[in-house]
């Protein structure tokens, strides 16, 4: 079956612009996660969605970051007024549920802020 | 607090050698889950294995084997008769009932040369 897909694969933007990153999870997976991978910080958790429950936003680094998940499926991560330190690979993952299940990752979006 | 330590930053071996990647974890939860992921040069994180805290049985899958020891809080990964295709960054991760995100170690970069 189809895995997790993300778009775009690469995004170059100027400092101060807003960007939207999209994630399409595996069909039937109720849990969706966003992570960020950068050289200095490793893999960091950003936000988590489970079904129709309120998301866990505890990992978002600032209020410039937000995410939504429509219809319990596709998710969009938005970064407003991008900064150079936002440059990283943004990874989306999904799992069957939130009970310690393995998470399946998408290919990521490489964001470069110039 | 939860923490995963992968003390080996980089390992280089010659093809057909056996190699063990170390993972030490910290958690106060009694129910938790441990994972290993592989990130090849292409960049996509690939799920390898999941173990729960109540199952200390070692597992073997082809050339891969995992040794879970609660007494030493370790979950080590051994590749037998390594191959060039095993070259990748390997991440150990922890998840428990007190959170939904995967807590990743910093990763071990494995280079297998012919």
Residue A53's pLDDT is 85
Q: Distance (Å) from the C-alpha of residue B42 to the closest C-alpha of chain A? A: 9
* Mean pLDDT score across all residues of chain A: 93
End-to-end CA distance of chain B: 41
Listed in sequence order, the residues at least 6 apart from A53 whose beta carbon sits closer than 8 Å to its beta carbon are none
Look at B100 and A107 and tell me if their CB atoms are within 8 Å.
no
pLDDT of residue B67 exceeding 90 = yes
What Å distances lie between residue A107 and A37, A112, B37, CA to CA?
12, 16, 14
Q: Which residue has the higher pLDDT, B96 or A85?
A: A85
A69-113 pLDDT, tens digit per residue, is: 988 799 999 999 999 999 999 999 999 987 788 999 999 999 999
Look at B101 and A31 and tell me if their CB atoms are within 8 Å.
no
Of B31, B50, B106, the CB nearest to A102: B50
Chain B neighbors of A102, CB-CB under 8 A: 35, 47, 50
Look at B44 and A101 and tell me if their CB atoms are within 8 Å.
no
Q: Count other Cβ atoms within 10 Å, centred on residue A93.
A: 25
- Measured between alpha carbons, how far is B67 from B58 in angstroms, rounded to an integer? 5
Beta-carbon pairs below 8 A across chains A and B:
53
Look at B100 and A33 and tell me if their CB atoms are within 8 Å.
yes
């Amino acid at each position: 079956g189809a895995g997790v897909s993300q778009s775009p694969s690469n995004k170059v933007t100027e400092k101060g612009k807003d960007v939207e990153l999209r994630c399409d999870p595996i069909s039937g997976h109720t849990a969706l996660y966003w992570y960020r991978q950068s050289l200095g910080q490793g893999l960091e958790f950003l936000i988590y969605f489970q079904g129709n429950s309120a998301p866990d936003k505890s990992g978002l680094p600032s209020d410039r970051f937000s995410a939504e998940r429509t219809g319990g499926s596709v998710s969009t991560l938005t970064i407003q007024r991008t900064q150079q330190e936002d440059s990283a690979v943004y990874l989306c993952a999904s799992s069957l549920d939130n009970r310690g299940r393995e998470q399946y990752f998408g290919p990521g979006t490489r964001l470069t802020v110039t | 607090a939860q923490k995963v330590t992968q003390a080996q930053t980089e390992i280089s071996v010659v093809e057909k050698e056996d190699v063990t990647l170390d993972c030490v974890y910290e958690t106060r939860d009694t129910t938790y889950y441990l994972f290993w992921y592989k990130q090849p040069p292409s960049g996509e994180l690939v799920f390898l294995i999941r173990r729960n805290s109540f199952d200390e049985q070692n597992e073997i899958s082809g050339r891969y084997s995992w040794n879970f020891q609660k007494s030493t809080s370790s979950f080590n990964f051994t590749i037998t008769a390594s191959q060039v295709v095993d070259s990748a960054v390997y991440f150990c991760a922890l998840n428990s009932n007190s959170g939904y995100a995967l807590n990743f170690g910093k990763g071990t970069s494995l280079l297998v040369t012919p």
